[in-house]
Amino acid sequence: MPIEGSTGNGQEALTFFQRRLDQKTARVGVVGLGYVGLPLALLFSGRGFETVGLDIDPAKVDSLLRGESYIHHIPAATIREQVGRGRFTATVDFAAIETLDACIICVPTPLDEYREPDLSFVSQTTGSVSAHLRPNQLVVLESTTYPGTTEELVLPILERSGLRCAVQPYDAATVTAESCRDVKSDFMLAFSPEREDPGNKTFQTHQVPKVVGGVNPPSALAARALYAQAFECTVLVGSSRVAEMTKLLENIYRCVNIALINELKLLCLRMDIDVWEVIEAAKTKPFGFTPFYPGPGLGGHCIPIDPFYLTWKARAYELPTRFIELAGEINSSMPGHAVEAVGEALNRRGTCFNGSAILVLGIAYKKDIDDLRESPSLRIIELLQERGARVDYHDPFFPRLHKMRRYDLGLTSVELTAETLARFEAVVIVTDHSSYDYEFIARHSKLVIDTRNATQGLRHYRDKIVRC
């Protein structure tokens, strides 16, 4: 049965959408107000578009409506300004989708306990969007996922609304509005991978080129037109699958190279070679080498997860991705290596794990941010506790650890004083925040396990510093 207001003509849908953008009357919605969604919503509202943020967490919505920020690098003043001007609002009511011209989905895509993709957040959110979908709307998925998700999962759910969106290939280099004339499309659907890097002071959100791929020509052109309103550069690719694979390639590239340097670090430790000095020497070559650095494990939402999304999908094509799987395994093993280094250092001092007081410095997955998604610190604390250690932590960004999907550690950050440091058998540097005074830490600690090379240059304390 035809839906009222729908012509089913892709060119007309695109024209309607483009007109709304040109007149600055288009309403943009962002579902999922986390580290990706909130900056994106504020970016569009800052460009003059009326923007609605949707989230299932009423605490987040209430904070935003009060003009408060729950993400460290997003100033509360920015939120207050956009709310005060009436350009940005937030809600838990998904009926607001009916008022939108564009709906961007930025929800988590974690792994389950078997390291297989958990797309429940995407499925549930898409179902909510479908219940309120109307003609000529553009829906964009930004959540990192395997190639085919937009067409194989999101599209069928959206079409439960009774609206249709035909999948049709196009040439990204030559596609025009004329290409949309014969495309049957009541609504438009695209994928655009998020490239947010929390804490990055070099590239702001709008400065990172936006890759866009649609399921058909009108979807591709509409998505490119939308993001062109807020981003300095857009990169149109030939399908949503290409866009999905682009994000995986970016992060698997990093994952594989980090795995390589982590494995090399383990070898250098046995050979009594300083891997950090090796890297510094190698990166003097002006071509053919990009430096990557070892650590206690990968964190963040993308790099620890993306390889497993692709290897899972590759099984459907009966092609083993051994290289990628090995990189994921090496990086996943690094928290265990850090804990083994703690145990060996304690043993050399005649102390055992069981009953030892150990302080973990840094909970965020990387320095100077308030993001602990997939942080190796959490796994390290868990492993230390399993071995009988009494574990505390300090992190200036996390006064306490809330319950997470996998972890419920129930810990509170301790004060970082000389007296506090002295009462621990070992202090483990897992996240090298810039605010830490590493000379002070080394001076007052009995033993320091450094997983980040943060104590480089503190030669006066090398008898009690173990770099691993």
Residues known to be catalytic? 302
Sheet arrangement for strand 357-361: 390-394, 357-361, 426-429, 448-450, 465-467
Containing 248, the helix (H) or strand (E) segment is helix 240-271
Token pair of 178, please?
Answer: 């004329």
> DSSP assignment of 11-51, as one string?
HHHHHHHHHHHHTT--EEEEE--STTHHHHHHHHHHTT-EE
SS3 state at 400: strand
> Cα-Cα-Cα-Cα dihedral of 99, 105, 108, 109, to 10°?
140
Residue 236, beta-bridge partner list: 212
Question: Which value, in Å, is the radius of gyration of the alpha carbons in the chain?
Answer: 24
Report which secondary-structure segment, H or E, holds 191. strand 188-191
Across 201-234, b (16+ Cβ under 10 Å) vs e yields: eeeebbebebbbbbbbbbbbbbbbbbbebbbeeb
What six digits make up the tokens of 100?
Answer: 């939108």
**Which among 216, 240, 214, 239 is positioned nearest to 226, based on CA atoms?**
214
Pairing of strands 426-429, 138-141: unpaired
Q: Pick from 327, 326, 267: which is nearest to 298 by CA?
A: 327
Length of the chain: 468
Distance of CA 30 to the CA centre of its chain: 16
Single out the residue of 189, 182, 244, 184 nearest to residue 221, CA to CA.
189
- C-alpha span between 262 and 243 (Å, rounded): 29
As a whole number of angstroms, the distance between CA 301 and CA 374 comes to: 6
Instruction: Yes or no: say if 245 and 236 are a contact pair by the CB < 8 Å rule.
Output: no
